[in-house]
Structure 1
Amino acid sequence: MAADIRIAIIPGSTRDTRFGDKPTRWIQEIAAARGNMEVELVDLRDFDMPFFNEIASNMWVPTQNPEAVRWQKTVAQFDGYIFVTPEYNRSITGVLKNALDYAYPEWNRKAAACVGYGPTGATRAVEHLRLIAVELQMAPTRTGVHIQGADFMAALKGEKRVEELEYLRPNIDSILDELVWWTRTLKAGRDTAAAAS
């Protein structure tokens, strides 16, 4: 089937030494090879957004910061998202939370999948991210991918490549299957609602 949906892959860290580039590239290559979605890296490093300091959410009041408006316009172009996140103190990074907070209608009724990495596979960060996604009216996939433990440490030290973690492929395939299904279903719903209004 032709690629009829657009998916943004968003790394959740902007640190110079971030590990996230490795799983991000891996997921991007696997998703693109499927041919049923168009995938694009949307890097938070490319958006110089300040800490949220607007009058209110853009659900209620238009955002004033031009860089945040550019972010909103970028997010709006996609039908679904894959977040690749580390875990900072049992949650997502501040930069990812800030980026999520700067948009609202742009996320609505779209699907989201999560890939976590770190000593515990970012399990708590992924769960927190799913709760945030629900509040933003996104539909998070049930399945996640968690790069963790000795495998994460080996990949971090360069002793192993993330692509060698083949036992994770069933989970990757599952999140992508779920993401495509939810993305198409929600896109059809949005299109129907738009046509009716």
Structure 2
Amino acid sequence: MIRIGIILGSTRPTRRGPQIAQWVLDSASRRGDAEFELIDLREHLLPHLEEAAPPMFGPSAHEHTRAWAERIAPFDGFVVVTPEYNGGVPGVLKNAIDHLCAEWADKAVGFVSYGVHGGARAVVQLRTVCGTLGMADVSYQVAISLLTDFENHTTFTPRDHHVAALNKTLDQLIAWSGALAPLRACTDTTLVDSCGADHGHDQRFPARNR
């Protein structure tokens, strides 16, 4: 069965993300067409990228990076639950993405964002990043307002349009995750554009071990 990881992309002490991520997990788990699991970045507190070489060049020398790679590799697709900080992607989420390369490739990704303006600008940036890593970002997304979608500004209260948007996002995500399975099963080397390299030309990296 298809496995989908729900990435909680904030580590702030006062974050609103856990409520939203749990809603996504509870809603998704009732579907029956995929397995879903929460991935909390608080459980993988990676330092600011200190790798000696880009992740495309092989396993890291650091245990924390190898553990993060092992956590991500088994999944076929992801839902990224992200806030918007100052008009962009949270640094901790971008850092976690940049620590890996092959573990992201040929997988589908959908977005559930939140912020004063629904987190839309963070998702715009994430679509570019994920596309560069060879991920297929689905068109539907869920946008949650911190001003109108939290009761007393503390408790997330999903509305009918949030439920509908999440269902459409998951429909696309699961379909695309299945469609990309032949590419993930490939054992040959894969051509990618950059994957964190400091070079302008194409690079090759070994396909992931599954």
Q: Give the TM-score, by structure 2 length.
A: 0.85
Q: How many residues align?
A: 189
> What does residue 152 of structure 1 align with?
149
Q: Secondary structure at the match of 2:15?
A: coil
> What does residue 76 of structure 2 align with?
79
50-59 vs 96-105, greater mean Cα deviation: 50-59
Q: Percent identity?
A: 37
Establish whether residue 162 from structure 1 lines up as the match of residue 157 from structure 2: yes
**Residue type of the alignment partner of 2:46:** M
**Residue type of the alignment partner of 1:47:** H
Distance in 2, Cα, partners of 1:33 & 1:108? 27
Q: Structure 1 regions of 5+ residues with no counterpart?
A: none
Question: CA 1:93–1:155 in 2, change beyond 3 Å: closer, same or farther?
Answer: farther
1:44 alignment partner, one of 19, 24, 41? 41
Q: Secondary structure at the match of 1:82?
A: strand
> What does residue 52 of structure 2 align with?
55
> What does residue 67 of structure 1 align with?
64
Deviation, structure 1 residue 22? 1.0
What is the CA deviation profile of residues 97-135 of structure 1, one whole-angstrom value per residue up to 9, with x for unaligned ones? Answer: 010000000000000000000110000001101111001
Distance in 2, Cα, partners of 1:80 & 1:136? 13
Higher helix share: 1
Deviation, structure 1 residue 152? 3.2
Distance in 1, Cα, partners of 2:61 & 2:76? 25
Establish whether residue 173 from structure 1 lines up as the match of residue 167 from structure 2: yes
Establish whether residue 13 from structure 1 lines up as the match of residue 10 from structure 2: yes
Contact 2:65/2:99 (<8 A) preserved: yes
Higher strand share: 2
Q: Secondary structure at the match of 2:127?
A: helix
Distance in 2, Cα, partners of 1:34 & 1:179? 13
**Residue type of the alignment partner of 1:39:** F
Q: Give the TM-score, by structure 1 length.
A: 0.90
Establish whether residue 110 from structure 1 lines up as the match of residue 107 from structure 2: yes
What is the CA deviation profile of residues 20-50 of structure 1, one whole-angstrom value per residue up to 9, with x for unaligned ones? Answer: 0111011111111001110001111011311
